[in-house]
Each structure stands twice: as C-alpha cells, then as structure tokens.
Structure 1
Amino acid sequence: MPSRYSLDTLLGRGGLGEVWSATHASGRRVAFKRLRSDRPGDAAAGATLLREASATARLQHPAVVQVLDLGRDEGRPFVVMELARGALREGAAASWSEARDLLLDLLSALAHVHARGVVHLDLKPGNLLRFDAAPRLRISDFGAAALAREPEHERWLGTLGYAAPEQLLGEPVGPTADLYALGCLATLLLTGRRPFPELEGEDLFEAHIGWAPAPLRPCFEVPPEVEGWVARLLEKDPSRRFQRAAEAARALGRSLPCPAGRRPPPLGAEVAALRVAGLLGRPVEQEALLLQLGRPGHLRVRGPSGSGRSALARWLLTEAHEHDLARSALVELDDDSPTSAAVGRTLAALLDLRGLDPPEARQQLLLRVACAEHLSARDRPALLGLLGLASAPLLQPAHLAGLLLRTLREVAGERPLVVVLDGLERQPDAAEMVAPLVTGGALVVSTVAEDRGGAVGAADLELTLGPLEEHALRALLTERAGLEPRSALKLAERSGGNPLLASQLLSVCLEQGLLEERPDGFALRADAEPRLPADVQAIWQRRIADLVPETQRPALGLAAVLGARVDAATWRLLCDQEGLAPTEVQPLLDAGLLQPYPRGFSFAQGLLRTATLALFPDRLPRWHALAAEHAEKPAVRGHHLLAAGRVVDGARDLLAANLPLLRGRHELRASMVLDELDPLPLPPDARAEVARQRAWVAVTRRDPRAVDLARQAVALAADGASSCRALLQLASALTRAGRAEEGDAARRRAAGLARAHGVLDVLREALIGEATVRIRAGELAAAEALLREAEASCGPSHDLLNARAWLALKSGQLPGAARAARRVLGLPSPSPLARYSALTYLAEVARLEDRPEEAEAHLVDAIEVAEAAGLRGSAWVARASLGILAAQRGATARARALLEGAVEVFSADHRRAVALICRAWLAGVHRGAERAGTVATLSAELEELELHDAELVEALLWSSAQAAEHAETLRALAERARPTCPAGS
C-alpha cells in the first residue's frame, strides 16, 4: 500500500473491496478501500473500483461521502475517503423530526446524484454512513452504480431487502429505483423495520415484485399524510412513483407539517446545498432568487468584480434543474463576441447540438424544428445562422429574445422559464432582450459588475452583493479548499471578503509551494506570505491611475495603511502630519471601489487596497508607525508596530489584545496572532506569554498536548507574575486531562505565588477554580470560604458571581442563586461564557421552582449566546437541559431527540459523565427493549466511572418512577451515585 498510509483496523468487506481505517502520514484518520485480499489481481474488479471512486469524486454534495485520494499502488487500486463513525443502524429514528430531516438530506443528495446521470442502485443502511458534523447521514459505496455502467454486466444489482421490482427483474432502471429504496429506508426509520421484515430469499423477491407492504405503524406520532407519501415511493410501477427526488422532497418538505419550533429552509436554499465557489454566505440572496421562480420579471444581481455574481446566478440554474423547479438558459456575454454569438451558444446547449460536426448538427436541428410545437419553418434560417451552420443576417436583440423564448418553451413543457444574462455590462445591447423575454413569461436574471459601469437599463428587483462576511469566506476556504481553520482565517482577512481574491491568493500559495499538509487540512507554512499575482496587481494599479491624480495617490496609500475601514478624521490628521493632499474620494465612491460609512469610508474591494499598498513599499514602515500613535485598540496598534519594525512593543500589545479573545473562546483568531509572533525575536517574558497562550488554546480545544505545552510555559516563565499565570494554565490542562489531584496542586501553587506577588486576577481565578473543585466534590463550606477570600481580595466579577450562583444551587438556596445570576447579567460587558452560565443558572432555578416556560426561555437564550460565540459543547449542555424539561413535562418525542443528540455529542467529545447523566434521563423516556438496553448501559458505565453526582441521582430517581419494571435497578444505581457529604458541608 502507499507509504503515506498505515492500516489500522478492518472495518468490513463487500463484493469488490475491503475497507480499513487508516492513518495518513499527516496524522489524519481516513477510510482506506482496496480490492479484497482474495482478488488482488482481478483487473476487471480493479477497474470497477476506480470507476466507482471517480464517479463519487465528481459528486460534490455535503450528504455524499467525499473521496480524498485514489490511484494504484504496485498495480493494486485503492480509494481513500473521509472516515465515518459507522453506518445507519437498523431501527427507527428517535422522532418524526429526526426521520424527516434525514430523509430530506438523502433526497437532496439524490437530486444532486441523479442530475449528474448516476443512479446508486444499492441504498441501504450499510451504505448510509453517520458523521458527527452535519449532514449526519451521507451516502457511500457507488459500486453498484459503477457495475451497472459496464455493458457486459447482466445480473441484477443491489440488496434484496431494498431493491426495486425493476432491479430484481433485470429491467431498465433509473432514478425511481433509488426512490423505491428510499421508501424502504423511510419505512425503517419510521417503524424500525423494513418492508416485509419476516421474509427472506425467494419469498422476499416475490414480495417486492407483487405484494403490497403492510400499513405503516410508526414508533412515534407522524402527520397523517406520511403513509401516502411512503406508499407512493413503494409503488411497484416506476411510473406511479415520484419521478424525481426533488418532487418527493417537495411533497415531504412543503405538504407535511413542520415539527414544532422548526421551519425548513426553502428547498435547496441551505448555504451548503451545492459546493459552488463564492456562494457560501449568500443565504438572503439565495432566498430572494428562489422566491422569484415562476414569477416573470427582471432581477439584477450587481456587485464588484469577484463578489460571486455569476456563481449566485448559476446556483439558481443548477437548483432549478436539480429540483425540477424551472427550465433555464444561460447566456454568457463577453467582450470579444456579439450578443448573437452568445445566444447561439445557448441555443446549441438547449437543443443538445454541442459537440456535433456541422452536417450532423444541421440534420438534428431540422428534425427538431420539423417536430416542434413552438418553433416553425420560419425560424430555421435564423437558427442555422446563429449556430454557424449557414449565413444569416444580423438579428436584433428583440428577435434574438423571441427565438430564445420559443426554443426554451420547446424544451420546458409546462415548467416556468428562467434566463440568465451573465455579464450584461459587456454587451449593453443585450439589455434590449429583457422586455420581450419578460413579456413572454420568463424570469430574467442579469448580472452586472458595478465597477465596470455601462448603462444596462432598469430592473424590477436588484440584489447588490457586498463583501462576504468573514465567517462565510472562512467556511468557503475550509470546506471547499481543505484549508485548516487558521490558514483559512488568514486568507479570508487578507482578501477583504472577496471570494475571487481569496481564490487567487490560494492559487498563489499552491504555485509557490506555501502550503503543507496537516491532520486538520492544508496549512500555510509559518514563513508564507502570499501576495497578489503581478498581473492582477497591475490591472488594479492602472485603475487607480485612471481615477486618482498622481499627487493624491500617496494619501490613498495612507488610507490603505489604516485598514479596510478608514476613519476620515484620523486619515485627514495623518495626511496633515505627512504633508499630503487628501485624495478626492468621490470618483472612487461613484465607481463602487469605496463605500461610505458614517465616520468615513471603506475599501469595498480588497484588491484595490492591496494594489494601493504595493505602490508605496518604502513609505509603509513610517506610515505604520504614524498610524500606531493614533490607534486606540491594542490589536490595531500592535499590528501597526510590527509592520513598522517595532517588534517587542507590537508583540506586547498583541498578546494583551489576545486575552479577551481567549476568554471569549475565539481561539482561532488568538492562534493566528501567536502564529504571527512565533518566528519573531521576542524577549523572555513575551516568549513565556506566547507559550502560556498556546497552552490556553490547547486546553480550550481539548488538544492532548495541552499539559506538555503548559509545562513549557511554566519552564519559560521569567518572573513571579508570569509563573503564577503559567501554573494556573497548567492546572486547567491537568484537570481537563482527568488528572484532578495534580491540577489541584498546581492551582494551589498558582494561588500562593499570586498572593506573594500581588497578582490579583490570577489569585481570583485560582480561588474560584479551587472553589469549583470543592463544589463538585460536595465540600460546600470549603467552597464558600474560598469564594469569600476571592471577593475580599479582588472584588466581584462575572466568574465569581456565577460560582456563587452554582454554590447556592447546590446548597438549595434558589433565591440566592437567582440573585447572583442576575447580578452577572447586570454587570458591564459579561463575556459570552459568563452570560451563558448565568442564563443556565436562572433556567435551573426556574425548573426547580416549577416554572417550565421561564426555564425554557432562559435555555433558548443560552443556546443562542453559545452558538453565536462558537461554544458548541455549551450549547449542547443547554439542549440537554431542554430535553430534561421536555421529559418532565411529558413531551417524550422532543426529550428523546434532544437527549439522544446530547449523548452522541458528549460521547464523541469524551465527556462521559455528562453523557451518563443524559442517558439516565433517557432511561425514563425510552420504552420496552430500548429502555432495558439503556438501563444495562447505565449499570456498566456507572460501575466503570464510579461517578458520584447529585444531578445523576436526580435523573435516576426520576427514571425509576417512570419505569416500573426497572425501578429497583435504577434506585440502586441512584444510591451508588449519591455523593458522600464531607464534614462541614
């Protein structure tokens, strides 16, 4: 096998191949598929395996397993894919909501697959893999699809329990065969059993061909229309089923009631519906486009070069095609050929004439026109001329529009019409096509580059694309390009929200060898400094020369130094200090290159700012030093100082600015700053602080290297203050690693040093941390003493008040807990984590005081705070609390969905204690055999963990009251889990 992979565990064998878990040389875990060991030299099987991989690699959909690598090693073919947690289990979903979401994900994937001419032919639980990240279910193993394309293949393909009648009979198959299999899967998800579960072999074969399945008996409440929906999927006659995955999805997504509290996005409008570059981060615009489908009119998409105008319009065309929402045509206008040539290319595509030699194309065209309903003999000369098959007079735009409309109607049937005029500013006369197209019933979507000018007429609705939000561009680079998060953030910031510039910078990185592979994706090398390609930079510098007089260009350079957003007052002050004439910005505003904002202006184009800075390389250090003198924020000042060559001062500012980022769990940004500082010559105290912050990031990310990094920080500490900070970080790392006693010892050492050196913030944090340990151990009196010392030494803080709220809850003092939590929310500027904690304490007080609606409202607010701050684990703790509320109120389906989701997340995050508490609540929610399994798992895990926790006791006692048949076992587990009460507590 290739030396870059090492095999770990055999996961399974199929007809062609065997699948192993493997590790890439970079450390990334993958699934490695190769020919079975008993047929290594089977050339036909090897070719089929690679065909399967090639087919899968072309399917770029979130719910289709990704192929990462493929090839041959010593003649033996192999395929490398993303590694799943396992396959879909044979059984019912947790709830109607979960079943519906899984089915919609699968239908979205099938729409994508079928639109590319692929039919899977073997959809079954074993080929639907589970992942932690959404979508949680993804289609794998296109081996049957690959075999079906082999002309010599004769026997039926698939798995008997899920195969369509036409598959079993060896008849021609199409997308409807996959929809039959989906009907079988829907039956499994709803009832826990596939159709005809008691039959095997010949009997099962006969049942699929001719027997009606039994009526649905779902395991949970479902809308009444569901049974008819499943029955239509399971029709024996393919023509009586849904004909397209999109049609089935529309019926499921639009006709059936939505689960309480949830609203599905419009079909295909999810941000990750298609992997189209430049499209992420445009959900509002996507929604607006989808809402216009079926409504004649003119919608214009306007934006600067590289903003993703064409990608957005093409997304609509693909969406309309895949989901059968409309029939569409793309007219690609360019500078080098007239509008008629662009329309001719579109007509060739609509009539399936591309790639034919002229005699064959002419013959096919004449046949199409002779049999046409909307085209006539009068259209033949114009069509032949536009397709380059005969000479013809130049046609006016209105005539072109009519011909395009009739051709489109010929292939559309009764579906709505959509025409995209891409790049209207390149051929302004094409604007004259809009009115006749709209009059003929089409939706016209035109795209216009706002920075190229040109009169293009009015529109009924206009969408203006600004820069992509940073998080969306970062997602584009991580999900589409495979960059690791910090490198993605660096390129996203460098490109100023412009997808095209981000793509160009990425290309530069590839060309110059600036990327290296790591376990979490491709990363920029530490010394990498991607720069704009010279030809692109030259184009933008010519545009600057056209719009800005030479004497005013230095002032524009000074503005670019200040950042993407420029405060006009500061800029004019610096211009005065430098003796520069301020740039007349109105022409740049008129051209859309700058955008106004209340205090000044911003660079709408990251390309413009980058090209401007490149004009003045010798002046940049002085300008950055000048900007640093007027910068209010430490992070801004620090970057200016680094650029000015004042490394030590800049590093200290940046390290200080990193602390709020780390407290707010923004470790990606903090890591980028540390990456920037790593190669610089820093004094010992700054180097020690870099090491400490590295350890902080590692603790937050649950990185197994956290303890080693924290020990390095302790070793590098240059004085008492930095030593106590590093020791406190070591305590956090040790505690998170499950080494509680060592963590307590490090925390006490940190507190002692902090007292000795008067480092009050560390003293407060150490005392609160020690109090937290005491609360968790049930030593409430000791915790109270520690919190009093913290308040006396350092005064109140968000963390201290939250610790008081928790202590009050554990002591049964509910009013005191509520007062402390409300004080947190009343103090200025609580961090997201502090707000989240206070809201969850208020929710717990409300739950214990039997005010469930108020408790739920606080938990929903807490989830919003956590998700906005990227605190995924915290959000799931709040969801688990919602599940507990639902269980206590008798909302069994909701409780089950939330608690099972929480168990899955916490188990994956190795938070076994929290997962165990959730499972204890599930023991009272589950029924029958499932409950028995949950109780057995609880017994085994509690024996292994030896967890003593009051919350676990509450869950077990509640479940014992719900589960009479297991009450004795659950009460015994509760006694085993009961915390011991130390003296004085």
Structure 2
Amino acid sequence: MLLHGLSGSAAWWRRNVPALAQHFCVYTVDLMGIGKSRLVQELVRHLRELGMSGLLGAGHSIEQQTPYRAWRDVFASYFGLEGLADGLERQEQVRRVVQEVAPKLAPRLPLLNDLLNLGLPDTPLTAALDPALRQESLVALLVQLLRAWAQERPLTLVLEDAYWLDSLSWDLVVKVARALLGALEPLLLVVVTRPIGEQALGFQAAQALRGLPGSGTLEVGALGVEETAALVAGRLGLPAEALPPRLARLVRERSGGNPFFAEELTHALREQGLIRVEAAPSPRLEVSPGLFEARSVLPDTLQGVVLSRIDRLLPDRQLTLKVASVIGRNYPYLPLRDGVMRLAALGEALLHQHLHELIRRGLILLEAPDPEPLYAFKHAITYEVTYHSLLFAQRRQIHRVLAEWYEQAHADNLEAAYPLLAHHWLHAAEGGDDAPARKARGYLARAGHQALRLCAYPEALSFLQRALALTPASPEHALERAGLLTAAGVAHEKMADYVPATRLLLEALELAHAASDPRAQSRALAELSWVAVRRGEYARAERLGEEALGCARQAGDRPACAKAGSRLGVIAAYQGHYPAAARRFEESLELYRALGEAEGVASCLNSLGLVEVFRGDLEPALHRFEEALAVARGVSNPEIVGKIQANLGLVAEKRGDYAEAARHYGESLAVFREISARHAALINVLNLGDVAAAQGDDARAGGYYREALAEALGLGALPIALGTLRGMAAVWARDGEPLRAAELLGLALSHPASDAEMRQQAEPVLEGLRALLPPEALEAALARGRATTLEEVLRQWGGPAPGEAAPRAPAEG
C-alpha cells in the first residue's frame, strides 16, 4: 500500500489505528529512508492520543549478532526496567510484574536471564533444561507474556531497523505473530525495514510475515512541492507561506522528495549562510542572492550533504560525534563520556555543551533523560556517514578504548558482553596488532560457543569463522583450531548444511590427528557420525561412531564413551538392527551407572524400552519405561519424564488400553507445558485426540484436534496441523459427514508439509470415503479442500472471536 507523503501516512494511521489495534494485523514497512521514522512517530503519537500504549524495539548495527537484541528493548519496556540499574531492583520489578499478569509463569523467570541479563538463580525447573529446550521454553515464556498483555489491552509491537535483527529476533517475531494469530488475540505488529534481499538473514522471516492473514506492506511516497515547503518551513520556524516557492522547488528537486534529505539540505543551507531567519519584527526568511547560482556546490547525495555538515563542526564536536558512532546508532552516556575523555582533554561540562549543540543541529536525539541518559543518531544515515568518515587509525583507537571500557564495566559478568567485546576488539585488531587480535580471537570464540548454546546458529557460525580467521595455522594452535572447526561444523549441522559441516569436521579431525589428541579426534568423529545420521548414511555413521568410541576409550573419556555408545544404539535402531541397538544401549547404561549419571541412565532405559516397542515386545518395554521413569523423577529432569510418560502412553495405546494411554499422554502433556516445551506438548494433544477418537468420544477428540490445530499454526508445526485434519476427517466420516471429511483430506494430502507418515495414516480414512461417496462427489470435495487453507479450517472449526480465550480440551490425568 502506497501512502502519499507524510500527511498521507499521518492520515492513514489516524483513520486506521483504532480498528487495527483491535484485530490481528501485521504491517511490514519497506523503505529506503523515505519517512519510515516519521511513519513510526505518527503511529506512536496516535496511540498516545487514543490512550493506548505500545512496545518498541529496534535492531542495532553493532549488535546484529547479539541474540534477541531487539527484544531486549521490548521487554525492558514491558517490565518497566528503564532507569533501573540495580540488579536486585530489576529482579524484584520483573517478579512483581509477572505476579500481576501471569503468576503461574514465575518458576520460569530465570529463562529471562538470556534476554535481560537479570542474574536470577535457576529454579529446579529451569536448571534441568538442555540448551535447545531452554530456548524453546524462553520463546514460549515471551509469547505467553505478550498474550497476557493482549488479553487485557490491545497489543501494539513496533520493531524499527529490522534489517539489523539477529536470527533469533526474527524467529521470535514470526512465532509471536503466529501464536497470537492462532489464539485470535488482537495484535498490531509493525516491522520497519529497508528492502531485504533474498540472501539476507531476515528474508524468509519477512516472507513468512507477509504470508500471514491480516498482513500488508506499507510504503510512503515521496513528498510533493507543497509538503516539502511545509516541512522546510517547519524546520525554520516559519509558516509555509513564508517560504519562497523557488526555494521549495529547489529543495524538492535536490532531495527527490525524501523528507530526511530535505531536512538535511535545509540545515546545510542555513549553516552555510545561504538562508537566514530574521526574527524581528516578524519571522521571515532571508535568502542569499547567490543561493540559486550556488546550487552546483551543494552535494548531490544525501550522504554528501550529511558529511558536509559534519565537516563544518569544530574538531572537538566531531570527536564527540565520532566516538558516539563507534558505540552505535543508540548510545548510553557513560561509554561516550569516558571514551571522549580518554581521547581528549575535555571536561564533562563541555561535553554536555557539545551534546546540546548536536541536538540543536538535528544530528542526534536525547531518547532517555537522567539518571541514565540515552542518545541516538537522528537517522541511520547520519550514523553510517559519521562512522565511515573516521580514518582507520582513529577508528581502531576508539574501538580499543571502548573495548577496554566495556571490559571494566562488565567485569562481574563478561559473558553478557561477549558479542559486544568481540565486535570492538575485532575492529581494534584491524591494524595487525597482536594484543587486540588475541583479545578478539578469545571473545569471538566465547561468543560463538555462547550463541551455539542459545541455538543462534547463524550468529555462532559468524563468530567462529572470524575467530578461525584470527587463529594462526601453526602446530601450536592446532587444537584451538580443531575446537573452533568442530563447533562451526556443529552449527552447520544444526542448520542442515551437511556439506560444509562435513568439510569443517574433517578438517578438525585432521588437525586432531596431527596433534595426536584422541579426545579432540573423538569429538570430531562423533559429530561427523551424527551428520551422516542426518543424511541417512547409516553405514558410514556407524563406522565413524565406532571410531569416535575407540578414540574416547583411548583418551580415557568415559562420559564420551557412554555418549558414543548410546548414539551407536540410535544408529542401529534406525537401521532396524534391534539386537545390536539393545547391546549398545546396555553398554552405555552400565557406563552411566558406573559414572553415577542418572540422566544418562534414564535416557538409556527409555531407549531400551523403545527398542522393545519396535520389536513388538510390549511387556518388557513397559518395565523399561517404568524403571526409566523412576530414575528420571529422582533427578528432577522434567524433559526425560515427559518423554517417558509419552512412551508409556504409546505402549498402552498399542495394547488397546485407551484410558491408560490417555492418562500417560495427559501427564506427559502437563510436564511439557510446565517447561514450555510446546512442540512436545502439541504431539501429546494430538495423541490425546487420537485416543479419544479410538474410544468413540468424538466431542472430546474434536476439542483436542481444534486445540492442536490452533497451537500448531502458532508454532508453525505444519505436520502436526495436518495430523489434526487426518484425525478430524476420521471422526466426521464416522459421524455421517463424508463430504466434510473429504475436504479435510484434500487439504492434508495436497499441503506442501504433507509427509509419507501422514499419507499412510490418512489412507484408511480415504479408503472408507471411497465406499461412502461416488467418485465425482469425492473428487469435488477433495478439490474444495485443496483450495482452502489451514487458517480457514480453524475458523470453520469454531475458533474464538478476537479477544476471547481459545477453547481448551479438558485436561487428562
């Protein structure tokens, strides 16, 4: 949708915000600097006029690889943390807000440490979560907090400079949108960005947002001559009619109707003395006779105009602005003050004068006042031009000063600043100085491993690759490089990039061999084996796994031996070699028992139970699962408990004991909901629907299927969503509605996410429909299904109106 100029955007918000804020709407703003900041300002202004509030976040140029950086601002506002510096005060404020809006979420609050650096001690619940599940639980917690907001008042989320978002921030944007869409909660989400290329990090996420029902794209068209005149006159403190038409046409022509360019040209003309405002006796504009002859000396580009304005500043003002640009587009006062004072003999009073002057000149803004002032460049282009105006030597010097400052400021918790320290030390090392290079290498490696633990795989890979580039390819650094290569290989494997994963892991293995280090060899071989598993190359996976186990034994690394043996059991089970799988799991079980690692014991017992299920021996499987459950409960690991409960449900379902199956699935569901493992919980909801259908309780089955469909759409778990269609189709076919059943199967079987397992489960239902319907009627119903969407099905199933709570099936157990 094209909005014509700034007045058009203001009018559009004024007309539409009241209605949009009550429904589910997503708008992406694709602009190249033409009024996007003003578009957001107009939105915020209209929200305030309506007595509404919104949550704002932004991408940050120098923290593009800091996980969830944009959402840190959003949730700092959510909890009211602005201005709170004391750690205990911040913790108490978060506890207070959660107690008010969603008290049941209190046991999960330590998950917020990864986002807000609260320093909350882990609870038994959060301490038991592995990295992947911890991130899934964090996302679920954030979504639930936003839903709690939306259920009390309309939720407006604005994310600016989205082209600087990290991968986890983009992922959370999509998950929040899908979750609130699935729950039919009101949401106005505005994502402001430059156009994103196909190779950019956020391209797929932006496409996903545009594909959601209720989404749209806004553009602001260029200013006309009259709007340009009004803008320029406003900046000069004059009425629009006081501006000479020839000057308005000049600014419009040179700026191309870009409002920021027009503002910068106005500032440049005034600073060069080509225009002057006379205040008395009444405000009027004096135009230099040489202005229109001097047009050729005005820069032709926006960047050129901004640079010319910076160049006219006095040297100490330039230094202040340049130090600010190294900190980032948004910058706190303290690192700016200390950075400037380390580089120049400048008193704090004079620094305040500089900041006031830069604000007056329209180069920077004060975003937050005392006690912790926060400043920002007025526009991203001003920030970028300032930074790139730095000479390389000066840039390196300022980066080093700031790196040292952040080390001192975060001395008690360096981990929270790894990405920031890696950034500054990396740029400080650009001159080839060994000391900054060593610092950069260390922080890049730590940031890479940290990102890997947070499941931020693109960021992990970026950090690790840059650490590798700084690590000498010499024998004394062989093991350091092997560790970095192994970690980078794991990041590629997690992203299903198996070819580069294999290449990096083989290189790590070669270095580990050269260093004669069996422990490092074992790690590389183990990950190579797992890549082969992912690719379905089981014979190769088994061979590599055996080598990994041999190296672990040679190194005397018993935990690695147990893990390698367990993985070999998984590989054997995938191939249907159940006796070999059982033997591997038994060997690992013995090792874990000797090591006293109860979680490993429970995991191996659970795996042995699954082997018995695959063999068809349900009684031994039941005993294994029950023993595993007792061990898992003893170590308070809810994730393993939930998996074992689900497997006990599977055994009961296969034995035809549906009441017992429902009890176990219900208990597993409760566990996974408690730890916010939403995908695992969703599988249990689908299982409960299937069990209810098998019992002939179609009403209960329908409730579970409807709930699972809504949750699956919120998560983007499309195979599970299609499973609900298969289940509901069977119910409707049995209840005398074969046409409705066929429509569901038409969608389920034609959907891109349909897989072989789903098609196999749907075949008996389809075969039954062939006996109930004439061929032409069946084909017409299947065609109608192929033409519909999952969201339409949810609405047809009686989804709630916006603002109402989604119906939930009754809990089991």
Same-fold call, TM > 0.5? no
Structure whose alpha-carbon radius of gyration is higher: 1
Bigger share in helix: 2
TM-score normalised to structure 2 length:
0.43
Higher relative contact order (CA 8 A, sep 6+): 2
